[in-house]
Amino acid sequence: MKRAFVCVILLVMPVRSAAPTYAQRQAAASRLTENARVRAALDWFSHNLSWVNDTQVRLTEIPAPPFQEEARAAAVREILEGAGLSVHTDKIGNVTGELRGANENEIVLLSAHLDTVFPPGTNVKVHHDGNRMMAPGISDNGTGIAALVAIARTLQSARIKPQRTILFAGNVGEEGEGNLRGMRELVETYKSKLKAVVVLDGSGTDHVTTRALASRRLEATVTGPGGHSWSDFGMPNPINALIRGSVRFINTKVPSGPRTTFNIGQIEGGTSVNSVPYEAKIKVDIRSEDEEELMRLESALRDSIAAGVRDEMEPPRERSKGSLEWKVELLGSRPGGELSSDSPLLAALRAADEFIRNQSRMERSSTDANIPLSLGIDAISIGAGGMGGGAHSMQEWYEASGREAGLKRALLTVLGVSGVAEEKAR
């Protein structure tokens, strides 16, 4: 047994290399940044920062509520076309632009989500306050989309041909009930060729999301016959039952490690104050670092709602006037996953960080990167530079200071995994 074990290790070791050392990362980064075209691409950002800022404003001012990303997608498509890419809009509304590599069978995906959390009619006009741009969606994901198109343009202007094909995507459906449908579709389409995915989401250069937080969104509904508050008193009441069940659910114990959370985020039901309602609903978001805790919490929700309905049906009141029904449905689910610490994608990011003298904090979060990570495809989500805050609120803001470093970091990370094709000798 022991001998067999040793053999296995010996066989595995040469294939699975250890995390690259500082020196190896330095070497990789300097090979890339010594390339004259890559240097030209990096310089492009310094000369075009105002174009990037203006583009961010223009795209942020095109509303993109959930499931209504078409107008913004069309504007992004136009810029990607202008950058010389072969563009395509898929059946669910993702816009993609392809920069063909020497090896077209391998793809590096660079994506930024188009959608915002803001409903139609939200005022998305950008206001300037000193160095700050203010508007809902300006940072999440105005910054990411602006960086996406800027990187496409800089690669065109520097005439860089990557080794692997780089696929640029403005994708739909990242926020809320979009349920990552844009990224799911992209991964489904290109799965067998996808070698790495870099997601640009929001601002900053301080973090890299390498672990995908698993989450589920559920809707619990209780229904009954409904009636009059006075003459039908005693009839089982769906709101009462849902409240009874909800109280049981929110008393569920969750561990602090693995961190596990729940939130009742929406409640609705009833028609008037003097009617016994015929329906009541809650929407619940549950998250955990461990998928097993997620399953446990989901069954706790089902058990609690069932118990709430039972409690409501108990005497002493006359319950002959009908019964209650309940169901818990899945609105969305985001699978978990983790990037391996020896992944070439993480090495490329670290090398890019060294070039811009940055240090990234590794994070666990729920992003578009969940989908590729859950399938074992290397993926990260990073901010696209500058500073931002107030995401998902009407006070959202963005400041472009430090943006150039973020753009360079994203570009070098992508080129680090795509490679740059050797120029042919003339």
Smallest gap from Cβ 145 to Zn ion, in A, equals: 10
Q: Is the CB of 277 or the CB of 388 nearer to Zn ion? A: 388
- Note the maximum CA span of the chain: 93
Min dist CB 239 to Zn ion, Å, is 34
Residue 59 or 415 with smaller CB distance to Zn ion: 59
Residue 109 per-residue DSSP state: E
Residue 410 Cβ vs Zn ion, minimum distance, rounded to whole Å: 15
> Nearest Cα to 409, choosing from 338, 357, 341, 363?
357
3-state secondary structure of 140: coil
Type of residue numbered 349: L
User: If you write DSSP's letter for every residue of 299-334 in order, what string do you get?
Assistant: HHHHHHHHHHHHHHH-SSS---S---EEEEEEEEEE
Quote the least distance from Cβ 90 to Zn ion, whole Å: 20
User: Which is nearer to Zn ion, 141 or 209 (by Cβ)?
Assistant: 141
Nearer to Zn ion, 143 or 165 (CB): 143
Among residues 145 and 328, whose Cβ is nearest to Zn ion?
A: 145
Is the Cα dihedral 22, 410, 376, 285 positive or negative?
A: positive
Nearer to Zn ion, 201 or 353 (CB): 201
Q: Which residue, 119 or 255, is less far from Zn ion as judged by CB? A: 119
| Residue 101 structure tokens | 């590599």
Count the alpha carbons within 13 Å of 97 in the hemisphere toward its beta carbon.
25
As measured in angstroms, the least distance from the Cβ of 409 to Zn ion is 18
Q: How far is the CB of 112 from Zn ion (least distance, A)?
A: 9
Angle (CA) 27-33-35 rounded to 5° is 110
Residue (141 or 413) nearer to Zn ion, CB: 141
The CB-of-114 to Zn ion minimum distance in angstroms stands at 10
Q: Cα separation of 419 and 415, whole Å?
A: 5
Q: Tell which residue, 273, 270, 271, 272, has the closest CA to residue 281.
A: 270
Q: For residue 143, what is the DSSP state?
A: H
CA-CA distances (angstroms) from residue 109 to 100, 169, 264, 297, 424?
12, 7, 35, 34, 25
Distances (CA, A) of 385 to 60, 109, 144, 194, 200: 16, 19, 9, 25, 10
Least Cα distance to 24 among 350, 281, 292 occurs for 350
Secondary structure letter of residue 421 according to DSSP? P
Residue 100 DSSP one-character state: -
The CB-of-140 to Zn ion minimum distance in angstroms stands at 4
In 3D, which of 376, 372, 247, 225 has the Cα closest to residue 308? Answer: 247
Q: Which is nearer to Zn ion, 140 or 396 (CB)?
A: 140
* Minimum separation from the CB atom of position 174 to Zn ion (A): 6
Judged by the rule CB under 5 A, the positions of this chain that interact with Zn ion are 140-141, 201
